[in-house]
A and B are shown apart, each in its own frame.
Chain A
Amino acid sequence: MSSPYQRLAALLVVGALGLGPSAAAADTVTIGLAQSITGGSPALYGIEQKNAAELAVDEANAAKLLGDRKIQLVHLDDGADRGQTVNVFQRLIGRDKVVAIIGPTLSTGAFAADPIAQKAGVPVVAASNTASGVTDIGDYIFRVSPPEDRVTPGVLKTVVDRFKVKRVAQIYGIDDQLTKSAYNTQKKALEALGVEIVATETFQRGDVEFAAQLTKIKAAQPDLIVLGSLAEESAGILRQARQLGIPKEVVFVGTQSSISSKFFELAGPAAEGLIAGTAWYIDSPEPKNQEFVKKYEARFGRKPDIYSAYGYDAASLVINAIKEAGSGDRKAVRDNLAKTKNFPGVLGPIGFDAGREPVIDPKILVASGGRFVIFK
């Protein structure tokens, strides 16, 4: 057994390596990637964004999009802990001197860390923050993932009109900002449509048991059930709803997060008929999309989901802004991001509006035969 001194010394050396200045080659442009890859369910969409960003950067480097300069992507994991998100941002900005940051995964992390980037003048492009108010933090904060209030009201209006819905039940995750803000938006839209909300049930992150809530909902006899849940939860709810015998005529509407192959895998035949509004789906005929899907699957061994798409476009937009700016100047990159209109992305022609929200064309999809197709 080594002496305490040796152990302490070893620990300090390792630590110093970790805390020392990082060496970036002279001809590189560094982009920061703040995504959660550990820490529970946020890791599910953090990993997708990370993978997609890496894909975009590698492609850009291979195609020499920035001429002789190489793009270096520095990823730091915040463990879905917002205190760490702040640490990560400070480190990326101060130590790694990034030109821009893609992320963070969670909206709560964004509220805590984005102000720091804003103050330091580092542009941030988020690919999975859907809570309202994120872009209000400042003019350096951009978003590729459309907030729920851009997508949901349209979907609900279409569904209510088409199916002559009178009674609605809602079930949502109370402790996750994505699902909670989705619920708020859905509720507002439903109230505006004048339908009767006959039941409201909640669940918590990590829950897989919905029988109790669904039994209550079934008793209230709704025509439509609106889900404020992530893909795995939506799948679980649908499966158990069918198992409990909720009638086939009842329509289900889900959030953007349901747009993933994972959803079909987990829900099985119960997935049939789920309606969701989104900016992207895997069969989208956009030319860049088909290429992206193939490359993503080839490299990562599974199909991309909606967060992969958002992450890819976020990275592409940042790279494009750097190219347009012609330098690694943070303000120039920010200005170019703000000017972006009709950039050919996986999501279709994409750009930012005056509020730095994404300008996209939301579509309404329905799950049919194991994939999402346009709802007619």
Chain B
Amino acid sequence: MSVFLQQTVNGLSLGSAYAVFAVGFTLLFGVLNVLNLAQGAVFMVGAFTGLELVRLVELPLPLAFLVAMVTAGAVSVLTQVAVFGPLERRGGHRWMGLIASLAVARLLVAIAQEVFGTQVLRYPSEPWMEASWTIAGVQIQGLQLIVLATALLVMAALAVLLRATQTGRAIRTMAFNPNVARLVGVPVQRMTLLTYFIAGALAGAAGVQLGVLYNAVSPFMGETILLKGLTVLILGGLGHVPGAALAGLLLGLTEVYSVGYLSSSFRDAVGFGLVFIILLVRPHGLFGLTTRQRA
């Protein structure tokens, strides 16, 4: 039983980081109908920013976390301004946008490699990082709690933003229908930039979380998370924010359980198999949103 509980704890902390990443990812999709594959690279930028702030500038982790989020958000906005915005204005269609996002991701990874080298980097050793408690035969690491807590905080903040503020209402209107949004006076350009910022910040947050949890930051860490993010997106339904959060947790748990009770070699196959089966049964994801038709 304690093995099951242990695996559950592992799965929840992993899943909460997935959830944070996926929520940003799905927001971009839901609001702007954009499948931005550069999000994985933005995640990596956040991870490096957090790491270097702690390593070189010796900032305390909470502060580094916030700065990393802001930096990742800024990079995301930059990609919108430099690439995706102009592409859309010049008549590029969605698939071209996808290619562009792949190239942007590649560029960011290449730059990170130039600057930081290919080596995996690690956070300097601090006593609080090794802290853990054993309850009922289950080992809970301090790091896991930190990831869970920050994930909850971040998502609560997002929920407040989306549900309770004017800005949030504007964003949700855009998600509903961009032309309607324009008609009712939503500053679409500004909201677009803001959405990119939020998505980037969330990706960056997940980057710091996973970087700290596994104490490993490398230029290639974005590739794996992107694939997981896509899986979560499908499970939760494209554009469905609470769905993404739940699906993130679900994926974390599924991965851990499939390693624990099936075979570690097929971990990813289980995730993909799940996606496949769910899509066959519910072609619009678990929470059933249709692909948007833009008028």
Whether the complex brings A and B within 8 Å at their CB atoms is answered yes
The 8 A CB mask of B106-131 against A (1 = contact, 0 = none) is 00001001000111101001000010
Q: Are A43 and B265 in contact (CB under 8 A)?
A: no
| In the complex, chain B residues whose CB is within 8 Å of the CB of A38 | 110, 113, 118
Quick check: is A41 within 8 A (CB to CB) of the other chain?
yes
Quick check: is B210 within 8 A (CB to CB) of the other chain?
yes
Give residues of chain A (252-291) contacting chain B, Cβ–Cβ below 8 Å: 262, 265-266, 268-269
| In the complex, chain A residues whose CB is within 8 Å of the CB of B7 | 212, 215
A208 to B3, alpha carbons, bound, how many Å? 20
Quick check: is B214 within 8 A (CB to CB) of the other chain?
yes
Q: Are B214 and A215 in contact (CB under 8 A)?
A: no
Query: Given that A40-B220, A216-B259 are contacting pairs, would A202 and B10 also be in contact in the complex, using a CB cutoff of 8 Å?
Result: no
- Give the number of A-B contacts (CB < 8 Å): 85
Quick check: is B256 within 8 A (CB to CB) of the other chain?
yes
Interface size in chain A (residues, C-beta < 8 A): 33
| In the complex, chain B residues whose CB is within 8 Å of the CB of A215 | 3, 6-7, 10, 260
Q: Which has the most chain B C-beta neighbours within 10 Å: A211, A215, A262?
A: A211
| In the complex, chain A residues whose CB is within 8 Å of the CB of B260 | 212, 215-216
Which of A4-12, A238-246, A334-342 has 4 or more CB atoms under 8 Å from chain B?
Answer: A238-246
Q: Helix, strand, loop or mixed for chain B's interface?
A: helix
Quick check: is B170 within 8 A (CB to CB) of the other chain?
no
Smallest CB–CB gap between A225 and chain B, Å? 14
The 8 A CB mask of B1-15 against A (1 = contact, 0 = none) is 001001100110010
Smallest CB–CB gap between A202 and chain B, Å? 5
Q: Are B216 and A236 in contact (CB under 8 A)?
A: yes
Q: Are B141 and A243 in contact (CB under 8 A)?
A: yes
Q: Are A212 and B122 in contact (CB under 8 A)?
A: no
Quick check: is B215 within 8 A (CB to CB) of the other chain?
yes
| In the complex, chain A residues whose CB is within 8 Å of the CB of B118 | 37-38, 41, 43-44, 47
Q: Which has the most chain B C-beta neighbours within 10 Å: A37, A43, A212, A236?
A: A212
Q: Are A206 and B215 in contact (CB under 8 A)?
A: no
| In the complex, chain B residues whose CB is within 8 Å of the CB of A37 | 118
Give residues of chain B (1-36) contacting chain A, Cβ–Cβ below 8 Å: 3, 6-7, 10-11, 14
Smallest CB–CB gap between B270 and chain A, Å? 12
Smallest CB–CB gap between B126 and chain A, Å? 10
The 8 A CB mask of A211-238 against B (1 = contact, 0 = none) is 1110110010000000000001000100
Quick check: is B223 within 8 A (CB to CB) of the other chain?
yes
- Beyond A206-B223, A243-B132, list 19 extra A-B contacts (CB 8 Å): A37-B118, A41-B220, A47-B117, A174-B265, A206-B221, A208-B210, A209-B10, A209-B214, A211-B10, A212-B267, A215-B3, A216-B3, A236-B214, A243-B141, A262-B119, A262-B120, A266-B120, A268-B122, A269-B125
Q: A interface vs B, CB < 8 Å?
A: 37-38, 40-41, 43-44, 47, 174, 201-204, 206-209, 211-213, 215-216, 219, 232, 236, 239, 243-245, 262, 265-266, 268-269
Q: B interface vs A, CB < 8 Å?
A: 3, 6-7, 10-11, 14, 110, 113, 117-120, 122, 125, 130, 132, 134, 139, 141, 210, 214-216, 218, 220-221, 223-224, 255-256, 259-260, 263-265, 267-268
What are 8 A-B interface contacts by the 8 Å CB criterion? A41-B220, A43-B113, A211-B10, A212-B11, A212-B259, A232-B216, A243-B130, A243-B139
